[in-house]
């Protein structure tokens, strides 16, 4: 089910009700490649794949001001790469009860939660396995930068070579074994020591750090370019931040609140 280059959806009025959003594909859709898509201001998920999907790619797209930027739910094998995700009320990129999803080279800024790998427990898809979060820029998340579920059903989910930026050298990471997203780590060294994840990640201003970085961190520079223009994603986020602040809701702290 190929989707053409440049397909976009700008919907500022979609409902936050169940199943609403900018674009949703479900029920065993396979081999979809969504590229250079724009989803702005949806009161639901900007791009959502759900229910037995396989071999999906979401790349080089702009997701701005949605309830959730990209969600991949109870599905298998996906690549979410090279996207700019900013101003999401809840989650920037959400891997929910899925396997073998590679989240890489994305730039995330000013989202409620940056990247979430969770959605458990889920009876119809009891595994969360083989997912990777690597070579992303995750900046100024309002609640938590990274959520990684490590409870029953989770296996071989990894995170590394990411660049976190909160302005003070800290991170906000949730390594959770239940449905809640409570912050468990505020420094990368402690997180790496306790979990073996993000040992090669760092905290810095992306534009100061990338120039002197060694591969693969240098490749983050490519992830920091929008697909529609040459503006830095942080500039895009700042321009949008005032409207986000005006409509910011109380953010949930558990998977129950997000899934409904």
Residue ranges per structural domain of the chain: 8-259
Tokens 């800290």 found at = 170
pLDDT tier at 211 (50, 70, 90 boundaries)?
low
pLDDT at 234 over 70: no
Tokens 């986020």 found at = 237
Higher pLDDT: 139 or 214? It is 139
Q: What's the pLDDT score for residue 212? A: 55
Q: Find out whether the peptide bond into 216 is cis, omega within 30 degrees of 0.
A: yes
Which residues have a Cβ under 8 Å from the Cβ of 209 and sit 6 or more positions away?
Answer: 163, 202, 217
pLDDT at 215 over 60: no
Give the other-Cβ count within 10 Å of 196's Cβ: 11
Alpha-carbon span 220 to 13, nearest angstrom = 33
pLDDT tier at 19 (50, 70, 90 boundaries)?
low
Higher pLDDT: 214 or 226? It is 214
Specify the pTM: 0.81
pLDDT tier at 213 (50, 70, 90 boundaries)?
low
Q: What's the pLDDT score for residue 258? A: 47
Give 67-88 pLDDT, tens digit per residue. 999 999 999 999 999 999 999 9
Structure token pair of residue 45: 């998920």
pLDDT at 259 over 50: no
Give 181-199 pLDDT, tens digit per residue. 999 999 999 999 999 999 9
Give 21-36 pLDDT, tens digit per residue. 789 998 888 999 999 9
Alpha-carbon span 154 to 5, nearest angstrom = 35
Q: Of 106-115, 131-140, 171-180, 214-223, give the lowest mean pLDDT range.
A: 214-223
Please return the burial class of 156, using the count of CB atoms within 10 Å of its CB with bins 0-12, 13-18 and 19+: exposed
pLDDT at 46 over 80: yes
């Amino acid at each position: 089910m190929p989707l053409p280059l440049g397909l976009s959806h700008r919907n500022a009025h979609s409902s936050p009700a169940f199943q609403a959003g900018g674009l949703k594909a479900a029920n065993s859709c396979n081999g979809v490649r969504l590229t250079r898509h724009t989803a702005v201001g949806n009161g639901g998920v900007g791009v959502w794949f759900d229910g037995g999907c396989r071999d999906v790619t979401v790349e080089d797209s702009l997701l701005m001001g949605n309830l959730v930027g990209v969600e991949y739910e109870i599905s298998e094998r996906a690549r979410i790469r090279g996207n700019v995700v900013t101003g999401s009320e809840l989650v920037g990129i959400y891997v929910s009860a899925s396997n073998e999803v590679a989240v890489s080279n994305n730039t995330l800024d000013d989202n409620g939660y940056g990247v979430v790998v969770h959605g458990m427990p889920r009876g119809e898809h009891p595994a969360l396995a083989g997912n990777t979060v690597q070579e992303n820029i995750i900046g100024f998340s309002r609640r938590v930068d990274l959520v990684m579920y490590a409870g029953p059903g989770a296996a071989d989910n990894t995170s590394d070579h990411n660049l976190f930026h909160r302005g003070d050298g800290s991170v906000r990471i949730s390594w959770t074994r239940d449905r809640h997203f409570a912050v468990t780590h505020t420094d990368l060294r402690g997180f790496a020591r306790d979990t073996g994840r993000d040992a090669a990640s760092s905290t810095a201003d992306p534009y100061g750090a990338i120039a002197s970085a060694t591969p693969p961190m240098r490749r983050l520079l490519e992830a920091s370019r929008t697909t529609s223009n040459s503006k830095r994603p942080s500039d895009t986020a700042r321009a949008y931040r005032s409207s986000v602040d005006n409509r910011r809701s109380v953010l949930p702290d558990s998977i129950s609140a997000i899934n409904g």
